[in-house]
């Protein structure tokens, strides 16, 4: 009876045996991310994590969930999938780092029409590599075969992260004041947002091939578009206590929409657009897509992946420690962003 049911399910497009085969070896792959807080093994109905909150006065759990958008289309086209897992983990870690949290554990979701073992392993390797580098345990996930939901050879990924911050040290924007300085941490490519517009301009309008450099660049366009989203949390955590008043992860919404999320009423972010050189990839999209400059700063990171808001008296110190760029200041006015 089991054999008959399995064959019928396989005929419907879901190969349970293939799923089990693909999942073999996962424990060996992700165990390098496990510390003493992880209980049990991969494969259970739930991931077990026993946190150590010693040294914290008022521990607060911080969680976030995200994906990598249509950057996946570049992975499909190039056949490279190991960077996608790293993108997802690092993006999620950064989202909680702006609150001052450190990551505890991460869970992933992968959905596909049919599981491809080599592709699955590349993605999982990326998850494990980024989790290990970020001090984050990969405790579980879900792998779903859904024929008819995805095109052949394509998949979707999402991730959930849980971290912790001591409430007295939480970054909630309440300390931000007019006169504070904005320190921009350099990005590395498009990170994980803006790919729908980038693909339209670069691949459709310009017709550029992914295996050759775009005008003004030295590496193939596919590699440029698959640059890994950096993890800024370790650097932020290494800075002196009290030296950051606020922080904004520059993802979807760019500088224009993300900075206001961490500003109190009465504070405006005043950015000097000439304080850093915008990478050529963004300039290429702006020119050939005829995208207004303001929209570019709302869609893309424009070369700045994280913005730290620091007291003026510590700006030189933080700029030196982070090797960041002084890109502006906090002024008085509506809770918005002005780029000069």
Give residue 23's pLDDT.
65
Candidates 309, 240, 315; CA nearest to 98 is: 309
Confidence of residue 32 (pLDDT cuts 50, 70, 90): confident
The rounded percent of the chain whose pLDDT value lies above 70 is 93
Confidence of residue 24 (pLDDT cuts 50, 70, 90): low
C-alpha to C-alpha distances, 123 to 127, 129, 155, 191, 241, nearest whole angstrom: 6, 10, 11, 17, 36
Domain with CATH 3.30.1330.10 in the chain: 2-169
C-alpha to C-alpha distances, 197 to 179, 212, 218, nearest whole angstrom: 35, 20, 22
The rounded percent of the chain whose pLDDT value lies above 90 is 77
Name the burial class of residue 177, with classes exposed (0-12), middle (13-18) and buried (19+) by CB atoms within 10 angstroms of its CB.
middle
Confidence check: pLDDT of 2 > 60: no
Residues 151-177 have pLDDT tens digits of: 988 999 999 999 999 999 999 999 999
Average pLDDT over residues 236-261: 95
Domain with CATH 3.90.650.10 in the chain: 181-339
Fold of 181-339: Phosphoribosyl-aminoimidazole Synthetase; Chain A, domain 2 (3.90.650)
Average pLDDT over residues 206-230: 96
The superfamily CATH assigns to domain 2-169 is: PurM-like, N-terminal domain (3.30.1330.10)
* 246-249, strands of its sheet edge to edge: 246-249, 304-310, 181-186, 325-332, 267-271, 337-339
Give residue 10's pLDDT.
73
Give residue 168's pLDDT.
94
The region that residue 147 occupies, defined by phi over 0 for left and psi between -120 and 50 for alpha, beta otherwise, is: beta
Write the CB contacts of 53 (distance below 8 Å, at least 6 apart in sequence): 59, 164
Average pLDDT, the chain: 92
Confidence check: pLDDT of 240 > 50: yes
Write the CB contacts of 118 (distance below 8 Å, at least 6 apart in sequence): none
Give residue 30's pLDDT.
77
Least confident window among 13-22, 211-220, 250-259: 13-22
| Three state DSSP letters for the chain | CHHHHHHHHHHCCCCHHHHHHHHCCHHHHHHHHCCCCEECCCCCCCCEECCCCCCCCCEEEEEEEEECCCHHHHHHHHCCCHHHHHHHHHHHHHHHHCCCCEEEEEEEEEEECCCCHHHHHHHHHHHHHHHHHCCCEEEEEEEEECECCECCCCEEEEEEEEEEEEHHHCCCCCCCCCCCEEEEEECCCCCCCCHHHHHHHHHHHCCCCCCCECCCCCCEHHHHHCCCCCCCHHHHHCCCCCCCCEEEECCCCHHHHHHHHHCCCCEEEEECCCCCCCCHHHHHHHHHHCCCHHHHHHHCCCCEEEEEEECHHHHHHHHHHHCCEEEEEEEECCCCEEEC
Strand 48-49 with 38-39, pairing: antiparallel
When comparing pLDDT for 313 and 45, which is higher? Answer: 313
Give residue 1's pLDDT.
47
Confidence check: pLDDT of 182 > 60: yes
> Could you tell me if 102 and 228 are in contact, meaning their C-beta atoms sit under 8 angstroms apart?
no
Confidence check: pLDDT of 58 > 60: yes
Confidence check: pLDDT of 5 > 60: no
Please count the other Cβ atoms lying within 10 Å of the Cβ belonging to residue 86: 24
* Separation CA 319–CA 308 (nearest Å): 10
Name the burial class of residue 9, with classes exposed (0-12), middle (13-18) and buried (19+) by CB atoms within 10 angstroms of its CB.
middle
């Amino acid at each position: 009876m089991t054999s008959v049911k399995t064959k019928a399910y396989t005929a419907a497009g879901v190969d349970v045996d293939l799923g089990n085969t693909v999942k073999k070896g996962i424990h060996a792959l992700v165990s390098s991310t496990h510390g003493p807080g992880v209980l049990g093994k991969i494969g259970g109905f739930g991931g077990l994590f026993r946190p150590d909150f010693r040294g914290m006065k008022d521990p607060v759990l911080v969680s976030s969930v995200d994906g990598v958008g249509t950057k996946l289309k570049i992975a499909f086209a190039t056949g490279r999938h190991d960077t996608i897992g790293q993108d997802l983990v690092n993006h999620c870690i950064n989202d909680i780092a702006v609150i001052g949290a450190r990551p505890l554990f991460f869970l992933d979701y992968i959905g596909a029409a049919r599981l491809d073992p080599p592709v699955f392993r590349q993605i999982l390797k990326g998850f494990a590599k980024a989790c290990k580098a970020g001090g984050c345990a990969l405790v579980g996930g879900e792998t779903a075969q859904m024929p008819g939901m995805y095109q052949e050879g394509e998949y979707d990924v999402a991730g959930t992260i849980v971290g912790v911050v001591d409430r007295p040290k939480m970054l909630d924007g309440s300390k931000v004041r007019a006169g504070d300085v904005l320190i921009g941490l350099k990005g590395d490519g498009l990170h994980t947002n803006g790919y729908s517009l980038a693909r339209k301009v670069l691949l459709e309008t310009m017709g550029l091939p992914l295996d050759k450099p775009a005008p003004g660049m030295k590496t193939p366009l596919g590699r440029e578009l698959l640059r890994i989203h950096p993890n800024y949390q370790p650097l932020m955590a290494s800075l002196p206590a009290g030296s950051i008043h606020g922080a904004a992860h520059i993802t979807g919404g760019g500088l224009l929409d993300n900075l206001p999320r961490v500003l109190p009423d009465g504070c405006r972010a005043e950015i000097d657009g000439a304080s850093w050189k915008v990478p050529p990839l963004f300039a290429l999209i702006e020119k050939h897509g005829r995208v207004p400059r303001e929209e570019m700063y709302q869609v893309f990171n424009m070369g700045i992946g994280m913005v730290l808001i620091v007291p003026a008296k510590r700006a030189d110190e933080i700029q030196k420690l982070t090797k960041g760029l002084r890109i502006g200041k906090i002024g008085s006015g509506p809770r918005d962003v002005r780029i000069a």
